[in-house]
Amino acid sequence: MDEVKVIEIKKSIFADNEQDANNLRKELKARGVYLLNLMSSPGSGKTTTLIQLINRIKGKIRVAVMEADIDSDVDAVKIKSATGIPSVQLHTGGMCHLDAEMTRQGLDNVNLEGADLVILENVGNLVCPAEFDTGAVRNAMILSVPEGHDKPLKYPLMFSVCDLVVINKTDVLPYFDFDIDKCREYVHMRNPKATIIPICAKTGEGVDALADWLLAEVKNWKQ
């Protein structure tokens, strides 16, 4: 069966997370490893999106995944069995976010020699994870159609810190009052430079564009 390594993450003792995150980024740059921090609400489709995405890029670059969760290892098991790539589960023990030191504890359990890209699936939460730099090269977030297009108004920091906003579950657009143009406008109000990619992780629609974005990012980072 698909057994995954489960890491119990300890609370950080470092006071200066910003400095620590910058150090981690520098170390990853030196090793040629790109770290993506993926955030979202619970149930927006992070894991399904990752499976679609990884199956498109795993032949081109070497990928590893860290799945943060308060409890359970369902996500890491799902990723491993659906993509075959190495996946570790990080248990935060009730903590609502990951900072750079906690991310480092996870990375200590990833074979970085064998990875061009490590994706960190952060705890499902639109508030706290946005406050902590994990040391990732980029922050990405998934907003799903059922959550509503007004979320950038209500969770300003999350949308300010994200370089990429993926709009997921576009297949159910006909059943929800979700205005995708308004959503773009609100996202760009928070971060004018944010890239926005609409997808449907269930059917795979739009995931090629997401894969292209990420492959270009990783290539650029490794130069």
Name the site residues for a second copy (rule: CB under 8 A): 41-44, 69-72, 74, 94, 96, 123-128, 131, 144-148, 150-151, 153-157, 169, 171-172, 175-176
Shortest CB 23 distance to a second copy, Å: 25
Q: Indicate the residue among 153 and 216 with the shorter CB distance to a second copy.
A: 153
Pairing of strands 5-8, 164-168: unpaired
Q: Indicate the residue among 56 and 91 with the shorter CB distance to a second copy.
A: 91
The C-alpha atoms of residue 33 and residue 205 are separated, in whole angstroms, by 28
Q: Indicate the residue among 73 and 101 with the shorter CB distance to a second copy.
A: 73
Shortest CB 162 distance to a second copy, Å: 14
Contact 165, 194 (CB under 8 A): yes
The C-alpha atoms of residue 205 and residue 93 are separated, in whole angstroms, by 35
With tokens 């993509």, the residue in question is 83
Shortest CB 213 distance to a second copy, Å: 24
Query: Which letter, b or e, does each residue of 142-178 get, where b requires 16 or more Cβ atoms within 10 Å of its Cβ?
Result: bbbbbbbbebbeebeebbebbbbbbbbbbeebeeeeb
Shortest CB 153 distance to a second copy, Å: 5
Q: Indicate the residue among 61 and 128 with the shorter CB distance to a second copy.
A: 128
